[in-house]
């Protein structure tokens, strides 16, 4: 039986071409990232919304739990971006993924520490720029993805032109739930996939049970776009909070610590993400990709990865010549 190809990010190689997407605030923490790394993928701790000490502790905890590839995802839009990057590097992160903006500086910090930098891109132009600055790979996130969106195009529509434009590995993100989805993405030229929502609804994810149950119950009609004060649309599950936003009723900001470099201040997104993560899935913002509608259970990471490998093999077999 064939195995999925490995994924190399600079000096680090994972056995499987599967990156677990960073999910803030406190959805992908050490337990999830370590379990994915241990299963052979790349596990990412989400740094956005944490302070540098907490991020350092999470990276060290994951490092102690596994010898697999553990990295950190940090949004460039966060004011303490530089401090979080340095905390992640000092704590031993294997790879840094940067989304929601573009930082030139991070490539120099990564090169100095020998840590591969992997930006999330939404166009061939930005992918080329990232390659020129020294990116080890790029992640192409399509409109299906959960969280903040940088494009209105589907991942499989965007991917080929980015694969064509750069010579570094390209990782497809958005709408990947099954092994057949992984095969489709690799067949389109990707070196790997990044999966968010499917991993948010696993046992090891730090989302509360009510959050995971919303994913399991969600249908296509329950997944909506909301306006984020970051200045990008965000994809989430429809709930009383998203309905409030739809109606133009923005909750007052109780306390602002200027956590983002630029913020529309229509509401506090960090507070609303923390509310959802701490169990208030009606008043909080429950980020989710369109793929949540195809998620029907809450497996362990080991069970899920075994399932993805099995489905990938089945899809490979179906495509093989008789």
Ligand X SMILES: Cc1cc2nc3c(=O)[nH]c(=O)nc-3n(C[C@H](O)[C@H](O)[C@H](O)COP(=O)(O)O)c2cc1C
Q: Is 101 in the site for ligand X (CB under 6 A)?
A: no
Query: Cα 65 from chain centroid?
Result: 21
How far apart are the C-alpha atoms of 188 and 77, rounded to whole Å?
A: 30
How far apart are the C-alpha atoms of 317 and 307, rounded to whole Å?
A: 15
DSSP-derived letter for residue 283 is T
Binding mask 45-84 for ligand X (x = CB under 6 A): -x-x------------------------x-x---------
Give all strands of the β-sheet with 233-237 in edge-to-edge order: 147-148, 233-237, 223-227
Of residues 75 and 170, the one with the C-beta less far from ligand X = 75
- With CB under 6 A as the contact rule, the residue among 121, 159, 176, 270 that binds ligand X is 176
Of residues 43 and 175, the one with the C-beta less far from ligand X = 175
Closest CA to 241 of 220, 201, 269: 269
Span from 32-40, 159-167, 168-176, 183-191 in contact with ligand X (CB under 6 A) = 168-176
DSSP letters along 102-158, please? --SHHHHHHHHHT--EEEEESSHHHHHHHHHHT-S-EEEE-TT-SEE-S-SS-HHHH
Query: Cα 1 from chain centroid?
Result: 29
Q: Is 285 in the site for ligand X (CB under 6 A)?
A: no
Bridge-partner residues for 138, per DSSP?
170
- With CB under 6 A as the contact rule, the residue among 31, 40, 146, 192 that binds ligand X is 146
Of residues 239 and 291, the one with the C-beta less far from ligand X = 291
CB of residue 4 to ligand X, shortest distance in Å: 17
Helices (H) then strands (E): counts for the chain: 12, 13
- With CB under 6 A as the contact rule, the residue among 151, 178, 194, 239 that binds ligand X is 194
The number of residues that bind ligand X (CB under 6 A) is 30
Residues 121-140 that bind ligand X (CB under 6 A): none
Span from 1-9, 142-150, 180-188, 305-313 in contact with ligand X (CB under 6 A) = 142-150
Q: Is 202 in the site for ligand X (CB under 6 A)?
A: no
Closest CA to 27 of 236, 278, 247: 278
How far apart are the C-alpha atoms of 146 and 129, rounded to whole Å?
A: 25
How far apart are the C-alpha atoms of 145 and 194, rounded to whole Å?
A: 10
Of residues 195 and 281, the one with the C-beta less far from ligand X = 195
- With CB under 6 A as the contact rule, the residue among 45, 117, 173, 298 that binds ligand X is 173
Of residues 63 and 212, the one with the C-beta less far from ligand X = 212
Of residues 166 and 214, the one with the C-beta less far from ligand X = 214
CB of residue 314 to ligand X, shortest distance in Å: 20
Closest CA to 248 of 266, 234, 273: 266
Handedness of CA 151, 180, 213, 50 (dihedral sign): negative
Binding footprint of ligand X on the chain (CB under 6 A) = 21-24, 27, 46, 48, 73, 75, 99, 120, 141, 144-147, 173-176, 194-198, 200, 287-289, 291
């Amino acid at each position: 039986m064939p195995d999925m190809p490995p994924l190399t990010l600079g000096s680090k190689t994972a056995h499987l071409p599967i990156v677990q997407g960073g999910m803030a605030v406190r959805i992908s923490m050490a337990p999830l990232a370590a379990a994915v790394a241990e299963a052979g993928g790349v596990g990412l701790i989400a740094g956005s919304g944490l302070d540098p000490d907490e991020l350092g502790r999470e990276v060290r905890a994951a490092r102690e739990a596994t010898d697999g590839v553990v990295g950190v995802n940090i949004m460039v839009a966060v004011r303490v971006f530089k401090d979080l990057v340095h905390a992640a590097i000092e704590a031993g992160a294997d790879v840094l993924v940067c989304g929601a903006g573009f930082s030139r500086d991070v490539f120099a910090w990564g090169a100095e520490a020998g840590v591969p930098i992997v930006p999330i891109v939404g166009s061939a132009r930005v992918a080329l720029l990232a390659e020129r600055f020294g990116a080890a790979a790029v992640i192409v996130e399509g409109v299906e993805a959960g969280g903040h969106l940088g494009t209105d195009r589907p991942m499989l529509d965007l991917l080929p032109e980015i694969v064509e434009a750069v010579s570094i590995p390209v990782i497809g993100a958005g709408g990947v739930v099954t092994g057949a989805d992984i095969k489709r993405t690799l067949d389109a030229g990707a070196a790997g996939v990044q999966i968010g929502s499917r991993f948010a609804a696993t046992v090891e994810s730090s989302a509360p049970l009510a959050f995971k149950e919303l994913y399991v119950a969600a249908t296509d009609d329950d997944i909506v776009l909301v306006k984020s004060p970051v200045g990008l649309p965000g994809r989430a599950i429809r709930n009383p909070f998203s309905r409030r936003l739809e109606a133009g009723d923005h909750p007052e900001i109780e306390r602002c610590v200027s956590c983002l470099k630029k913020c529309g201040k229509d509401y506090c997104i960090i507070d609303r993400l923390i509310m959802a993560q701490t169990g208030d899935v009606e008043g909080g913002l429950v980020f989710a990709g369109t793929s949540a509608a195809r998620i029907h259970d809450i497996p362990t990471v080991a069970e899920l990865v075994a399932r993805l490998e099995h489905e990938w093999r089945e899809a490979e077999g179906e495509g093989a010549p008789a």
